[in-house]
């Protein structure tokens, strides 16, 4: 338990620093967290059935994908409040109230959804537990070696960026590209990078500042359009648009 909490806090700090330094629009670490690290280095033979059940439930709740981790979002809220010279103590009080209220509301609406649609297909925790109980393993030597190699690459990239400012390869990009967390936006980010570099090279800082205003306009316009479609989906109870990747679909249902 102590090892799990320690690893979870380490991942929390990494996620928050990644969001602050890299500015990535997501911080998804799919299926790579405290549980997977412990299983890789220590194996699952030592787990009792009760401990395996606990680990499976906590895995799905706390560190399955990390996209819902609160610390990066709290950091952004604190940064915005600092820029606007708002009282940090009041902000933390608001965050605390929102956390407690959000927890109970989430549980309520989850119960409503399960009551209406059932739990067919909701097998993440059960499937994870089944794999542990069915296939007890010792330490994963190959996984340990690959983890050490990946960690070494990140440290090397970070050292190079520290010594050579402007080095294009960011260690955060390497980490995020290890799973499908960048599938949603990588091409859009590539286009934005090319447009940004072109503008800076040929139009300077004044052109870059104008480009920023255009980018903000595009973001606000997209949010406004999606809000309209989401409202229509809620009113009509029909899917209004769908985003598909890796043969999976995400839509405004």
Q: What is the pLDDT of residues 18-59, one digit of tens each?
A: 888 777 667 777 767 777 788 788 888 887 877 777 777 776
- What pLDDT score does 249 carry? 47
Q: What is the mean pLDDT of the chain?
A: 81
Better pLDDT: 209 or 172: 209
Q: What is the pLDDT of residue 86?
A: 85
Torsion of CA 55, 57, 62, 68, to 10 degrees: 150
For the stretch 125-184, pLDDT in tens is 667 777 778 878 888 899 899 889 988 998 999 899 889 887 888 887 787 777 666 777
Whose tokens are 């050292």? That residue is: 159
Q: How confident is the model at residue 246 (pLDDT cuts 50, 70, 90)?
A: low
**C-alpha neighbours within 13 Å on the C-beta side of residue 207:** 10
**CA-derived radius of gyration, the chain:** 22
- 114-123, 181-190, 230-239: which range is least confident on average? 114-123
pLDDT attached to residue 156? 94
Is the confidence at residue 195, as pLDDT, over 50?
yes
CA 44-9-161 angle, to 5 degrees, is 105
| Residue 139 zone, left/alpha/beta (φ > 0; ψ -120 to 50; rest) | beta
Torsion (CA) 32, 34, 37, 42 in degrees, nearest 10: -150
Looking at residue 105, its pLDDT comes to: 92
**Beta bridge partners of residue 251, listed in sequence order:** 242
Which helix (H) or strand (E) element contains residue 81?
helix 70-83
Other C-beta atoms within 10 Å of 196: how many?
Answer: 14
Dump pLDDT digits (tens) for 64-99: 777 778 888 888 888 888 888 888 888 889 999 998
Question: Quick one: tokens of 154?
Answer: 């990140």
SS3 249: strand
Predicted model pTM: 0.71
């Amino acid at each position: 338990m102590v090892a799990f909490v320690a690893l979870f806090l380490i991942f929390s700090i990494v996620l928050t620093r990644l969001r602050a330094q890299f500015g990535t629009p997501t911080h998804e670490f799919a299926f790579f967290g405290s549980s997977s690290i412990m299983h890789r280095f220590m194996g699952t033979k030592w787990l009792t059935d009760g401990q395996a059940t606990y680990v499976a439930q906590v895995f799905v709740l706390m560190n399955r994908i990390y996209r819902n981790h609160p610390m990066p979002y709290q950091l952004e809220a604190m940064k915005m409040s600092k820029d606007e010279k708002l009282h940090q103590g009041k902000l933390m009080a608001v965050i605390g109230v929102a956390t407690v209220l959000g927890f109970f509301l989430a549980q309520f609406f989850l119960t409503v959804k399960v009551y209406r649609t059932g739990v067919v297909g909701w097998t993440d925790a059960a499937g994870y537990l089944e794999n542990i109980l069915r296939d007890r393993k010792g330490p994963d030597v190959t996984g340990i070696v690959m983890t050490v190699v990946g960690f070494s690459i990140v440290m090397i990239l970070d050292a190079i960026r520290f010594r050579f400012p402007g080095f294009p390869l960011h260690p955060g990009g390497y980490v995020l590209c290890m799973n499908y967390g960048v599938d949603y936006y990588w091409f859009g980010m590539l286009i934005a990078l090319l447009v940004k570099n072109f503008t800076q090279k040929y139009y300077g800082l004044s052109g870059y500042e104008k480009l920023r205003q255009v980018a903000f306009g595009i973001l606000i316009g997209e949010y406004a359009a999606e809000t309209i479609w989401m409202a229509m989906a809620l009113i009509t109870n029909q899917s209004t648009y769908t985003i598909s990747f890796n043969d999976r679909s995400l839509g405004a249902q």
